[in-house]
Structure 1
Amino acid sequence: MRAIRYHQVGGPEVLRLEEVPEPVAGPGEVRIRVHAAGVNFADTERRRGLYDAAVPLPRILGSEAAGVVESVGPGVDTAWLGRRVVALATRSYAELTTAPEKELLVLPERVSFEEGAGLLVQGLTAWHLIHTMGRLSVGQSVLIHAAAGGVGLMAVQLAKAVGAKVLGTVSTREKARLARELGADEVILYEEGDVAERVRTLTEGRGVDLVLDSVGANTWQSSLDSLAVFGHLVSYGSASGAPPPVELESLYEKSLKVSAYWLRTYHPPELQRHAREALRAELAEGRLQVRTGLVVDLAEAAEAHRQLEGRGTVGKVVLRMP
């Protein structure tokens, strides 16, 4: 089969399209004929050696796939054969991949493989940011940085569904338009003045109850300054570099809370099943949209990485199998 591998860490140019052996479904697993694979910012960090650096090379990238179950391993219900699914699946930048049966989610017929490839990593991240970590409720307010990105757009929709006031930050007017289209009440452009000051203006001086920050160094202080009394800042990435250490003394005045979220943390199985089914139901009923931005063929994985790192994309970046 064909797959994207890298033999050394570095820039996008290290990604190679190669012929590799086909995977075999082990006990409790299925083999998926991949139609589309999601591209995430974490993939670029792995490629650069900043994340999961201990994994031996060469390595096939990828962590989510949408496709059709082609075969099942020992102990797996054969009813899965031929079903359209989406799954958290390592090594998904490939024509075939394997995934545990417990990670499978049936893909609604009305949802394309490209859309499905953007559901789980970013959708689950957004769901847990809003519900598990942020515990956002009706009448509260949230500031979502990078609101036109894959996680950002999901978080905007989920926060709006809760009944919260949604503020977002973006880098361009086109991204602002998209964030508003999917539910953001107000969108702030990074380059047009002080973000925290704008947040206070939009909240009549109160600030927001929750800030979701995947940017890191460049937004950290404005995130803290945007919080209301008893506000909560959740960090889930550091695209612009690691944020500075938290000064505990600076949190006392407004009794602020700072935390972090990572999808790869162990989640109780019941919680994760509930989150997956909630996302699938929202998608099937049309209440949640996966907006694909850049969709390119598998062979163009390096270009997908370049555009993602250059902040030239909106929504989900997807590799399709031609």
Structure 2
Amino acid sequence: MYILIMLYHFVLIQSEERSGNPSDSMKGLYCRLNDSEEVKFVIQETDVPATLGDHQVKVQVKGCALSPVDVKLFNDLKLQRDTAPVGREIVGTVRQVGPKVSFFQPDDEVVGILSLDTEVSGLCSTVTIHEQLLVPKPEKVSWVSAAGAVRDGLRAYTALHTLAHMAVGQTLLVLDGASPFGVLSIQLAHYHGVKVLATAHSQDDQKFLEQLRPSVARVIGVWDAKVDLAESCLEETGGLGVDIVLDAGVKLYEEEPEAQQPLQLPHKHDIITLLGVGGHWVTMEHNLQLDPPDAHSLFLKAASLSFLNDEVWTASTARQGRYLHILRDVMDKLSTGTFRPLLEDPVPLYEATVSMEMVQKRQVRKRVVVQL
């Protein structure tokens, strides 16, 4: 309950002077829920305040990355609305700043993530955003790369540094390593001297990951039914197990309908088995349930379990400085070539609705960026 209260608090602290201001109208992409809870994406008019708040910045959007809309999170935070804006990872040029803005000036190139309570789609031609949700975009980084890497980079930093306390010489297992998040996690871990194992969900994924050597020490093709994930990891680590596991979802029960397993998800028992003493398991499975025997196994290994929710950074101002430091470091690693995000070819605005439907259904494997 405390976490929900803390997360909900950002609705109060991130919004600034939204009422009573004259506004400009423009079109953006929004998602709408129907009675069957099916998400539908529509282009509609929206009002953007013409008068900026003290610490707000007006940004002319040059690119916007598309990520699935987490409807359940909106409901958990009591943000139920008729429509929710789509596209929050933006990059663009500052056009106007509020009277108390100190970080930016007009014509600065910036990148950031719109807050969950925003009423404006990132696919609008201009958006208003709090200055403390933006960082400068390096000159050498393209608009598309900056927009496409900012969330996955934030998620990789949160998982490996904040939650798992990654250190040189450790062994990391990245499940679904050929995903946009998996690729940046591999690159970040290799940069810090971590040995990386990665799973591939198809033959194409396996070929792609093998091209990343030496960043990836071993590719485990879980698409092959003969391959045992836990056995492969224990073999690679001399029976000691891996130090960090980043999952992409897990199988909670021994037998589930195949329709509910579009990818080769590992069972939670397999992850606990391959986890080493003092290891860290970072999960993206928000419905994860551990039975007493599972918890006892983690206890015997002195292992930890963390839930990866990168939205938590905007929930409290206490860690705002660290959040901005992470975003700046992501941009720095893009400019030096340490990060090489996995991107689709940029799509024009008129294809945004179709592209977003594919992203929501997870029918694309690379990060989609709309170029404005």
TM-score computed with the length of structure 2 as normaliser: 0.77
Aligned equivalent of 2:305: 258
Amino acid at match of 1:243: L
Aligned equivalent of 1:67: 92
Structure 2: how far apart are the matches of 1:21 and 1:272? Answer: 29
CA gap 1:181/1:35 in 2 versus in 1, 3 angstroms: farther
Aligned equivalent of 2:67: 40
Structure 1: how far apart are the matches of 2:221 and 2:106? Answer: 47
Q: Does structure 1 conserve the Cα–Cα contact (< 8 Å) formed by 2:348 and 2:371?
A: yes
Aligned equivalent of 1:52: 74
Instruction: Indicate whether 1:244 and 2:277 are aligned.
Output: no
CA gap 1:305/1:179 in 2 versus in 1, 3 angstroms: farther
Aligned equivalent of 2:221: 189
Alignment RMSD:
2.3
Task: Please give the secondary structure, in 2, of the residue aligned with 1:118.
Answer: helix
Structure 2: how far apart are the matches of 1:246 and 1:211? Answer: 19
Instruction: Indicate whether 1:216 and 2:250 are aligned.
Output: yes
Aligned match for 2:42, one of 6, 16, 19: 16
Structure 2: how far apart are the matches of 1:142 and 1:301? Answer: 35
Structure 1: how far apart are the matches of 2:104 and 2:360? Answer: 40
Amino acid at match of 2:30: R
Instruction: Indicate whether 1:274 and 2:325 are aligned.
Output: yes
Q: Does structure 1 conserve the Cα–Cα contact (< 8 Å) formed by 2:58 and 2:94?
A: yes
Aligned equivalent of 2:107: 82
Structure 1: how far apart are the matches of 2:329 and 2:103? Answer: 25
Larger displacement relative to structure 2 (285-294 or 110-119): 285-294
CA gap 1:285/1:215 in 2 versus in 1, 3 angstroms: same
Aligned equivalent of 2:369: 318
CA gap 1:184/1:302 in 2 versus in 1, 3 angstroms: farther
CA gap 1:188/1:310 in 2 versus in 1, 3 angstroms: farther
Instruction: Indicate whether 1:121 and 2:146 are aligned.
Output: no
1:81 Cα deviation (Å)?
A: 0.9
Structure 1: how far apart are the matches of 2:363 and 2:31? Answer: 23
Task: Please give the secondary structure, in 2, of the residue aligned with 1:280.
Answer: helix
Larger displacement relative to structure 2 (108-117 or 157-166): 108-117
Structure 1: how far apart are the matches of 2:297 and 2:354? Answer: 42
Aligned equivalent of 2:354: 303
Structure 1: how far apart are the matches of 2:135 and 2:302? Answer: 40
Aligned match for 1:5, one of 30, 33, 42: 30
Aligned equivalent of 1:289: 340
Aligned equivalent of 2:20: none
CA gap 1:284/1:268 in 2 versus in 1, 3 angstroms: same
Amino acid at match of 2:32: H
Instruction: Indicate whether 1:103 and 2:133 are aligned.
Output: yes
1:70 Cα deviation (Å)?
A: 1.8
Q: Does structure 2 conserve the Cα–Cα contact (< 8 Å) formed by 1:23 and 1:96?
A: no
CA gap 1:59/1:310 in 2 versus in 1, 3 angstroms: closer
Aligned equivalent of 2:22: none
Structure 2: how far apart are the matches of 1:274 and 1:111? Answer: 17
Task: For structure 2, list consecutive stretches of 5 or more residues without a partner in the other structure.
Answer: 1-25, 116-120, 252-264
Larger displacement relative to structure 2 (291-300 or 80-89): 291-300
Instruction: Indicate whether 1:203 and 2:237 are aligned.
Output: yes
Aligned match for 1:27, one of 54, 59, 67: 54
Q: Does structure 2 conserve the Cα–Cα contact (< 8 Å) formed by 1:23 and 1:31?
A: no
Structure 1: how far apart are the matches of 2:308 and 2:113? Answer: 18
1:309 Cα deviation (Å)?
A: 4.7
Aligned equivalent of 1:162: 192
Amino acid at match of 1:314: R
Amino acid at match of 1:20: T
1:307 Cα deviation (Å)?
A: 3.2
Amino acid at match of 2:109: R
TM-score computed with the length of structure 1 as normaliser: 0.88
Larger displacement relative to structure 2 (104-113 or 170-179): 170-179
Task: For structure 1, list consecutive stretches of 5 or more residues without a partner in the other structure.
Answer: none
Deviations 1:121-148 (A, max 9, x none): 2111101211111111111100111212
CA gap 1:292/1:162 in 2 versus in 1, 3 angstroms: same
Deviations 1:246-304 (A, max 9, x none): 53223233232212122222461332232222222212222222221253233433433
Q: Does structure 1 conserve the Cα–Cα contact (< 8 Å) formed by 2:56 and 2:101?
A: yes
Q: Does structure 2 conserve the Cα–Cα contact (< 8 Å) formed by 1:146 and 1:215?
A: no
